[in-house]
Amino acid sequence: MTEPTAASGATNSGSGATSLGSALRDLTSTTFRYAMAKASRRVEDWTDDLNSVVGNGGPTMMAALQGLNAALQGKNPVWAALKGAWSGASLKLKLAVVLTLLLMLLLSPVVIVVLALGLLVAAIVAGIRSATR
């Protein structure tokens, strides 16, 4: 009669070891899933924060992000930054830039002619002064 008791005791301790190993595996698996879920939530929060910064960013932020993105892709970061700045600019700023460029294009021939005439007058005056000495 003692033998069946010993055998059943051995069986109980064996199943206890099996259930302990199973419980540890379950605990490890649950802990891992919890850590991954927490990390995933943290990344989602960071992504939301970054999206809100990008969405509310002005021309400087857009220029920096587009330039960085282009540099990471091996493209020209200067051109990408200019396009990013333009896309992030407000309507008032875009209008001011366009009007300034138009004004420069319209006035540049006048400025060149005035400078050329000024240089011509200076050359004539210098020539007359050197001839009279």
Provide the 3-class DSSP secondary structure of residue 131. Answer: helix
> Per-domain residue ranges for the chain?
1-55, 57-89, 91-133
Please tell me the distance from the alpha carbon of residue 33 to that of residue 39, in angstroms, as a whole number.
Answer: 10
Identity of residue 74: G
Residue indicated by tokens 């200067």: 78
On the question of pLDDT at 1 being above 60, the answer is no
DSSP 28-56: HHHHHHHHHHHHHHHHHHHHHHHHHHHHH
Contacts 24+ apart (CB under 8 A), 38-45: none
At residue 16 the predicted structure's pLDDT band, cuts being 50, 70 and 90, is: low
d(CA 123, CA 17): 106
Rounded to two decimals, the pTM is 0.42
pLDDT digits (tens, 9 = 90+) for 17-52: 678 889 899 999 999 999 999 999 998 888 888 777
119 pLDDT tier (thresholds 50, 70, 90): very high
Residues recorded for the chain: 133
